[in-house]
Structure formats: structure tokens, C-alpha cells
Amino acid sequence: MNITTLGEARFPSPQRRTISDRVRVSSRLIHDPDAPEEEELLFELAGPRAHLFFDPAQTRVGIVTCGGLCPGLNDVIRSLFLELYYGYGVKDVIGFRDGYQGLDPARGREPFVLTPQFVHDIHKDGGTVLGTSRGPVDVGIAVDNLIRRGVNILFTIGGDGTQRGGNALFQEAQRRGYALAVVGVPKTIDNDVAFVSRTFGYLTAVEEAAKVLHCAHTEAHSVHNGIALVKLMGRHAGFIVAGATVASQDVNFTLIPELPLQLDGENGLLAALKQRILQRAHAVIAVAEGAGQELLAASGAGRDASGNVKLQDIGPFLRERIEQYFKAEGIPVTLRYFDPSYLIRSVPADAEDSILCDFFARNAVHAAMAGKTGLVIGLLHDAFIHVPIELLVSQHKRLDLNGAGWRAVLAATGQKFGADR
């Protein structure tokens, strides 16, 4: 995959170990002769280059965080700054406040200069020290602002919507002939970004979700015919609920967006739940927020500020249906409902996610200083890569119902629906 560059890289790099642009990482890892042939994509290997496009002494860098919170945002900000400041000698780094809103002078607060003292301990806290927001920005106004402030590099930390916005900024700057490097760091606890085997914050979210599931199991197991229903994040992909299910080993039924939810009938959830209660007198259900949307009436609520379709709330719907079902069956149950959604994304990153944040951030800096633009840092087969933004936002990653992850869920829960998909 070819990555756009701003021009010839003429300045010697201070990095002692560098990587050639010719090194590629294949999208293929497993060869299945019985599977349909897939196109092989070859991505640039991320890492420091021997020559820089930007003169570190004359370079100004901006950083912006957008969208929902995610464990590790401050880690990424800190590592971006440290690599720029100490790795390349770039001393002029500013933080744009409150997401893309901060790129519009009429809407956003004034950006501020980052310093070693400011970023020293920020990785110990959740959230983002830069603030965040949802929604787009007028691209023309934003580029005007970046040019006026003399920003040469912009790091965009966020999900699909953020990276689409970054791509628009890159293209507008290119149209004007302004040398702006836009490099994205993918961010979502849902872990559903294409060409990124694991996004930062995902494992932390799974760990926190597993703690909730353990507490839910305690509640359900402590009363006769106890049922715990736990709703977790995951709009279009079930990675969090699947990972937490396998990690906790406390769940009996896992419901994901990738699999249509059947409630009624002898093969439905309610009949299976009844059998579980009659046999074991307790049950734990974990449901992703995007599961079962086909059962809910369309609200007509449209989309949120980021352009995402507003989901109906599957949690209360399931709670009501379960209670109605057991009442009709004449089986008394005690149902506890848990919705920890925002709690699992606002905590600091765990050790493994902190390491991942550092790698994503430093590779983003290497790419930008070499004059590469219009890209997001990806991760395939344990190798960090350069992915064109347009390619990344054109695809979504989903939980493979024929893969090891879903098999592990079925083994942990013993549930029957979803086993034959």
C-alpha cells in the first residue's frame, strides 16, 4: 500500500536504528486452500526512517483527542510528546482542547503548549487531559486555523469518525498546497478497527468488565433463581463481551451484535434460560449494547454527533422480557441488572495497554517526521504498519463466528444458540 508523502526527506534522522520504506508486512497470515482467495495487501512497516521531511527545530506539532473516552488516551499523548521532544528535538508541541471543536477558533478553547512537566504523570489518570467532543468541524476553518498557527503535523487520536475527519483535513491541506502531515492513532475500546489486531484500551475494558461479571455472578448465585443481566459496550462488534466472558468464566449466555438474537421458541434464549434456572437455580447473561437491535422498534432518533446510528437500549428490553416470561411460566426469579458501560472506559490503562499506547504513539511520530501523511498506525501479526486512512475507514472488523474467539465463548458458556453459526 502506497502512503502519501509530503516530499523528499532531506534531514538526517537522530534515530540510530532505522527502517527502509521498502519493508512490507503482508495482510495474510494463514493460508486455507479451501477458503475463497483473498487479495493480499502489503503494508509499509512502521518505524523510524533514515531521513526526515521536517526540520525538528522548525516544526510545530498539534495533538487532538476525539470521541468517547478510552483507557490509555493520556498514555498516547504523553508518548507522542516524549518521542517528539526527546527523540527528535521538537520543542513546539500544542494540545488542541475538546476534540475537533478545538480546531475552530469560534467554538473551541485556546490550545496550550505541552511541556515535560505537564505530561510527566498524566498516564496515571483515565480520560484525556486535552478534553474531547463528538462531531465534525468545518474543514476549511480548521485548516485555516492550522495554517495560521503554523502547525506542520497533526496527530488525531480517535475512532472511525475521527480518522475520516483527519482524512478530510489532510486532503484540504493538500489541495491548498500546504505541507501538513496528518497521522492517526486508532482509538476504540470496541476493538473493531480494521487492520488493527488490538486497539489500545480494549484489554483494560475487558479486565474491568470481567470484574463486573464476577460481581454479577455473586449476586445471581446468592439467591435462589437469581439472574444477573449485564450490558457491556460494543455497538457493532462483540469483542468486549466475548473477551470478558472468557476472562471471567462466570457467564452462561453471551449475546453479540454479530449474531441475530432469538428470544422465543424452543431454540431461543428464554427457553434455554428456563432450563438453566430449573437445573442450576442461577444464571448470568452478558449482552453487548448493539445486540438484538433487530428486535427493537426503530426510534427514528437518527444519528449522534459523530454520525453513529443511535442504538435502542437492549438492556431494559431484555430485563422486561425475561421478567414477563418467568412470570407467565409461574417461576419466581430475582433479576439484577448491571450497566457499567462508562465505568469500564474511564479508568487508566493497564500495563499491557500502556505498552501498546507507547508503541502506537512513537510509530506515529516516526511516520509524521518522515513526511508521511493521510495514514493511521495499524497493527498486524504483531507488526506496526502504515494504513491509508481511506482504506481503514472503508472496512470494519467483526467477531468471527467461525474463529477461535467465538469458540472460546461457546466453550466457556455452554450455550447452544450461536454454536452452529
b/e per residue, 238-255, with b = 16+ CB within 10 A? bbbbbbbbbbbebbbbbb
Tell me what pLDDT residue 308 has. 60
DSSP, residue by residue, 166-212: HHHHHHHHHHHT---EEEEEEB-TT--BTTBSS-BTHHHHHHHHHHH
Scan for cell 534522522, then name that residue: 13
Residues 110 and 229 in one domain: no
398 versus 310: which is more confidently predicted?
398
Q: Is the pLDDT reported for residue 160 higher than 80?
A: yes
CATH number for the domain spanning 384: value is: 3.40.50.450
Q: Are residues 185 and 40 in the same domain?
A: yes
pLDDT (average), residues 147-165: 94
Same domain for 223 and 291: yes
Looking at the structure, tell me whether residues 315 and 358 fall in a common domain.
no
Q: Is the pLDDT of residue 298 over 60?
A: no
Query: Does any domain span residue 420?
Result: no
In degrees and rounded to multiples of 5, residue 381 shows phi and psi of: 55, 40
Torsion of CA 137, 143, 145, 150, to 10 degrees: 140
pLDDT greater than 60 at residue 388: yes
Q: Do residues 349 and 75 touch, judged by C-beta distance below 8 A?
A: yes
In this structure, is residue 40 part of a structural domain? yes
Q: What is the reported pLDDT for 30?
A: 73
Question: In this structure, what are the phi and psi dihedrals at residue 238, rounded to the nearest 5 degrees?
Answer: -100, 25
Domain that holds residue 99: 4-199+348-393
Which among 98, 160, 190, 353 is annotated as catalytic? 190
Q: Does 356 share its domain with 335? A: no
**Quick one: what percent of the chain has pLDDT higher than 70?**
95
Q: What is the pLDDT of residue 349?
A: 94
User: How many domains does one find in the chain?
Assistant: 2
The type of residue at 63 is I
Q: Are residues 287 and 337 in the same domain?
A: yes
Do residues 192 and 224 both lie within one domain? no
**pLDDT band (50, 70, 90) for residue 301:** low
Query: Does residue 419 lie in a domain region?
Result: no
**pLDDT for the residue numbered 312:** 86
Q: Is the pLDDT of residue 4 over 60?
A: yes
Percent of the chain exceeding pLDDT 90 equals 81
User: Is the whole model's pTM more than 0.85, yes or no?
Assistant: yes
Dump pLDDT digits (tens) for 65-75.
999 899 999 99
**pLDDT value at residue 302:** 63
Q: What is the pLDDT of residue 148?
A: 95
Q: Which residue has the higher pLDDT, 159 or 78?
A: 78
Whether 277 is covered by a domain: the verdict is: yes
82 domain-assigned = yes
pLDDT for 108: 82
Residue 69, domain member (yes or no): yes
pLDDT for the residue 121: 95
Is the same domain home to 289 and 364?
no
Task: State the pLDDT confidence band at 309, using cuts at 50, 70 and 90.
Answer: low
* Mean pLDDT of the residues in the chain: 92
Same domain, yes or no: 25 and 68: yes
pLDDT value of position 34: 72
Closest Cα to residue 92, out of 63, 52, 53, 135? 63
Same domain, 309 and 275: yes
418 inside domain? no
Same domain? For 26 and 156 the reply is: yes
Strands 282-288 and 226-232: parallel
pLDDT band at residue 303 under the 50/70/90 scheme: low
- Residue 190 known to be catalytic: yes
Return the closest-CA partner of residue 387 out of 138, 179, 103, 197: 197
Whether 123 maps to a domain, the answer reads: yes
Each residue's pLDDT tens digit, 335-347: 999 999 888 899 9
191 and 252 belong to one structural domain: no
Look up the CATH number of the domain holding residue 317: 3.40.50.460
Among 19-33, 205-219, 294-308, 316-330, name the one with the lowest average pLDDT: 294-308
Confidence tier at 305 by pLDDT (50, 70, 90): low
Determine the average pLDDT of the residues in 257-281.
93
Q: Which residues pair with 362 in a beta bridge?
A: none
pLDDT tens-digit series, residues 102-120: 999 998 899 999 999 999 9
**Is residue 29 very low, low, confident or very high in pLDDT (cuts 50, 70, 90)?**
confident
